[in-house]
């Protein structure tokens, strides 16, 4: 995949014991309409046939770079390793159990412009019994992000931006993406959204992700505490409400209307009634 007319985009993929799903993810990158790509896979000490799969594919595709951790380093560290190794001016990520539509990189690159720190897209969220399209604001500001992660798990941005921020925070056990997006927007401007679903995200409950569910609450609470100084009183009230919901604590309708900003009423009422 080479082109002198388009900047090189590096696709970073951390993986651990997900060979079958990883192959699907990689195929979705190989099918991209954007021609100038490299793929950087960090194998986080997989014990299945991931090393054999990656060895075979790297022999076939010279733009596939494989790095193997000798012991598990977890997702944030693996992503930082991939960022450091990436040669592209632009970087975008993919989780090994998700996959892309063929036009994803082309559309994201087409929407990137100065004044924005990154670009994301709508996502198609696949759950055990249904699918939904996550529609996001066309422009996501710092004020938006301090309510909750409106971006999702992936963006396309410049490598120099990620380097300037020091990459993902490896001290957080989860919410590393959310933390990075806050810092990215704070430093380099809002995130733009492509108004169409370009990524399929696996939300099946029985699928263990690289960040374990046991660490999820701890990570989000630490992320909140890290950025609390940036938040308004309304942001803090809503963040605390979401933390209670995530911890399966009882939340009354009075709590909802006291803690949720009016623009998010429909979102939270729907979640309370149906989720």
pLDDT in tens, 39-95: 999 999 999 999 999 999 999 999 999 999 999 999 999 999 999 999 999 999 999
Confidence of residue 202 (pLDDT cuts 50, 70, 90): very high
All structural domains of the chain, each given as residue ranges with its CATH number in brackets, are 9-231 (3.90.550.10), 232-275 (no CATH)
Sign of CA dihedral 110, 77, 199, 221: negative
Q: At what angle do helices 216-227 and 233-246 cross, to 10 degrees?
A: 170
Residue among 13, 72, 77 at smallest CA distance from 44: 72
Alpha helices by DSSP H, listed for the chain, are 19-30, 50-60, 74-85, 104-111, 142-145, 159-165, 176-188, 216-227, 233-246, 253-259, 265-274
Residue among 268, 115, 107 at smallest CA distance from 190: 115
User: pTM of the entire structure?
Assistant: 0.92
User: In the structure encoding, which two tokens stand for residue 160, read together?
Assistant: 């120099």
CA 150 to chain centre: 11
Per-residue pLDDT, 203 = 86
Cβ contact 17:69 at 8 Å:
no
Task: Give the percent of the chain with pLDDT over 90.
Answer: 86
CA-CA distance, 121 to 269, in Å (whole number)? 25
User: In the structure encoding, which two tokens stand for residue 260, read together?
Assistant: 């949720």
Confidence of residue 274 (pLDDT cuts 50, 70, 90): confident
User: What's the whole-number average pLDDT of the chain?
Assistant: 93
User: pLDDT digits over 216-250, tens only?
Assistant: 889 999 999 999 999 999 999 999 999 998 888 89
For tokens 């604001």, name the residue. Answer: 137
Sign of CA dihedral 41, 163, 100, 98: positive
User: pLDDT digits over 91-121, tens only?
Assistant: 999 999 999 999 999 999 999 999 999 999 9
Residue 214 has pLDDT above 70, yes or no: no
């Amino acid at each position: 995949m080479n082109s002198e007319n388009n900047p090189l985009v590096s696709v970073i993929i951390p993986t651990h014991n997900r060979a079958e799903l990883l192959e699907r993810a990689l195929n979705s990158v190989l099918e991209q309409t954007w021609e100038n790509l490299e793929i950087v896979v960090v194998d986080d000490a997989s014990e299945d046939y991931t090393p054999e799969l990656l060895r075979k594919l790297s022999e076939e595709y010279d733009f596939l770079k494989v790095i193997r951790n000798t012991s598990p380093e977890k997702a944030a560290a693996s992503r930082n390793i991939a960022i450091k190794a990436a040669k592209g001016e632009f970087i975008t990520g993919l989780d090994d159990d998700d996959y892309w539509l063929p036009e994803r990189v082309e559309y994201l690159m087409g929407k990137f412009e100065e004044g924005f720190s990154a670009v994301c897209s709508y996502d198609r969220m696949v759950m055990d019994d249904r699918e939904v399209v996550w529609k996001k604001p066309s422009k996501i500001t710092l004020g938006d992000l301090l309510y909750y992660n409106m971006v999702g798990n992936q963006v396309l941005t410049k490598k120099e931006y990620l380097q300037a921020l020091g990459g993902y925070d490896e001290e957080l056990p989860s919410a590393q993406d959310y933390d990075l997006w806050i810092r990215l927007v704070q430093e380099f401007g809002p995130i733009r959204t492509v108004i169409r679903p370009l990524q399929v995200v696996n939300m099946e409950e029985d699928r263990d992700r690289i960040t374990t569910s046991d660490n999820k609450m701890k990570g989000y609470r630490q992320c909140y505490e890290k950025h609390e100084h940036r938040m308004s009183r309304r942001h803090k009230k809503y963040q605390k409400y979401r933390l209670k919901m995530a911890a399966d604590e009882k939340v009354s309708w009075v709590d909802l209307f006291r803690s949720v900003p009016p623009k998010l009423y429909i979102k939270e009422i729907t979640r309370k009634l149906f989720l």
